[in-house]
Chain A
Amino acid sequence: GNSVTQMEGPVTLSEEAFLTINCTYTATGYPSLFWYVQYPGEGLQLLLKATKADDKGSNKGFEATYRKETTSFHLEKGSVQVSDSAVYFCALSENRGSTLGRLYFGRGTQLTVWP
Chain B
Amino acid sequence: NAGVTQTPKFRVLKTGQSMTLLCAQDMNHEYMYWYRQDPGMGLRLIHYSVGEGTTAKGEVPDGYNVSRLKKQNFLLGLESAAPSQTSVYFCASSPSGQTNTIYFGEGSWLTVV
A residues adjacent to B (C-beta < 8 A): 4, 32, 34, 41-46, 49, 51, 89, 93, 95, 100-103, 105-108
**Residues in chain A near residue B42, CB distance under 8 A:** 4, 89, 105-108
Q: Would B107 and A102 count as touching, CB distance under 8 A?
A: no
Q: Which residues of chain A are near B90, meaning CB under 8 Å?
A: 43-44
18 pairs, A vs B, C-beta closer than 8 Å: A32-B99, A41-B106, A42-B106, A43-B105, A43-B107, A44-B92, A45-B104, A95-B97, A95-B98, A95-B99, A100-B99, A101-B33, A101-B99, A102-B48, A103-B45, A103-B102, A105-B42, A105-B44
Kindly report which residue of chain B lies nearest to residue A4, judged by CB atoms.
B42
CB distance from B98 to the nearest CB of A (A): 7
Does B33 lie within 8 Å of A49, measured CB to CB? no
Residues in B lying within 8 Å of A, measured CB to CB:
4, 31, 33, 40-45, 48, 50, 58, 90, 92, 94, 96-100, 102, 104-107
CA distance in complex: A41, B28 (Å): 26
Cα-based distance from A107 to B58 in the complex (angstroms):
17
Besides the known contacts A4-B42, A44-B92, 13 further A-B residue pairs in the complex with CB atoms under 8 A apart: A32-B100, A34-B100, A42-B106, A43-B90, A44-B90, A49-B100, A101-B33, A101-B97, A102-B45, A105-B43, A105-B44, A107-B41, A108-B40
A98: nearest chain-B partner, CB-CB: B56
Contact partner, A103, options B41, B50, B99, Cβ 8 Å: B99
Q: Which of A46, A49, A103 contacts B43 (CB 8 A)?
A: A103
Residues of A within 8 A of B104 (CB): 43-45
> How close is B26's CB to chain A, nearest CB, in angstroms?
15
- Asked whether, in the complex, the Cβ of A101 is within 8 Å of the Cβ of B41, the reply is no
A107 CB to closest chain B CB (Å) equals 5
How long is the Cα–Cα vector from A43 to B42 in the complex, in angstroms?
13
